[in-house]
Amino acid sequence: MKILFFGQITRLWGLRGKPTPSTIVRCSQLASELDRLGFSCTVLFRRTRDFSRLLQEIRKSDVVVFHRLQFPLTNVPEAPIEPFLHLASRATNKTTIFDIDDAIFLQDPVLTEFFSAKSDIVTVGSHQLAAYARKWNRKVALIPTPVPTEIFSPKVRSRRRGEFVLGWHGTAYTQLHSLRILVPVLTQLAERYDIRLKLIGSMGNRKVQSIFNGIPGLQTEFGRDEWIPYERMPASLADVDIGLSPLTDSLWSRSKCALKALEYMSMAIPVVASAVGEHNFIIRNGINGYLATSTADWLDKISRLIEDGRFRDGMGGRGRQTVNREYSVRVVAQKFANVIARRKDAS
């Protein structure tokens, strides 16, 4: 069986035209594992100038997966190509799958509703997205965003002596509200412990730097100004002792797939995360990670992890087990294969 993935390309400066991180994990890496299971997968990126090739690939495929929606790469309005590709897929009797891992219905409600309603199946990365998709389509499957456990591995970790490293990674300038949750927590932690905050993905943004530069006693490493390629992310997290995943309680945050927390867990880095959205389904509080609901909660749980090395290592190990069991590329690819096998009666 041939599966065609239409992936998304990034708009980040310096990386335009390259696949987004979500495309790497939800399309490219998933496709590689599906190939191992006996499928034949192709991953393409939607560009108007490639339209004829895209139509050829659709005709050769049995299943066509549309990952998210591709927004224009410039400020110049561009006609969306996805509806035409979707119509071409339907006209040639292909099974169509719409795959979403963020609340893109807040950005483009019309197209998101169209794809959700007109696709044969909607695959989603979180419970909140499943609730949205079921408004428009009865065939919805929860497919977690997988973690490549072979690269996000405890084997790459290397702890430094002395200071304790708290880590965060992501596109920092788009998550300022969430990062501000950490300010009162870090202010109090810096009074008690020798800690360093490692921000991966601040990309030289002054607003991000201003949030943390004024905290007395806190050493902050803002990292490189350019985006780090996905496959090099584990090396950047190697010296992190505790992974942080703060989220404001919003519809956008509740719809996220918690990949940040899963990547920490995959490396056996104990995680402290806001009790928001998918975090609540992944983390068993106090067992494979910590959920925090207030400044006092964040402070108490990070402090315990700093002070109790045995407990910290145990939590990290249980986090790794969770990812291996439920969120690895191998496990998620099998879930996706099962959806394909049941595509005539998926519900």
pLDDT in tens, 75-118: 444 567 888 999 999 999 999 999 999 999 999 899 999 999 99
pLDDT at 11: 63
Do the Cβ atoms of 151 and 21 come closer than 8 Å? no
| Sign of the Cα pseudo-torsion (44, 48, 52, 56, in order) | positive
Angstrom distance (rounded) from CA 336 to CA 269: 27
Spatial CA neighbour of 178 closest among 271, 247, 253, 103:
247
Reported as a pLDDT band with limits 50, 70 and 90, residue 69 is confident
In a domain, 347, yes or no: no
Give one DSSP letter per residue of 181-210, joined into a string: THHHHHHHHHHHS-EEEEEES-TT-HHHHH
- Please tell me the distance from the alpha carbon of residue 222 to that of residue 273, in angstroms, as a whole number: 20
Percent of the chain with pLDDT over 70: 92
What's this model's pTM, rounded to 2 decimal places? Answer: 0.92
Mean per-residue pLDDT, 235-239: 95
167 and 134 belong to one structural domain: no
**Within this chain, do residues 207 and 131 fall inside the same structural domain, yes or no?**
no
Structurally, the chain folds into a number of domains equal to 2
CATH classification at residue 194: 3.40.50.2000
Rg of the chain in Å (alpha carbons)? 21
Mean of all residue pLDDT scores within the chain: 91
Query: Domain limits at 112?
Result: 2-146+328-341
- Same structural domain, 142 and 7: yes
- The pLDDT tens digits for 41-68 are 999 976 556 778 889 999 999 999 999 9
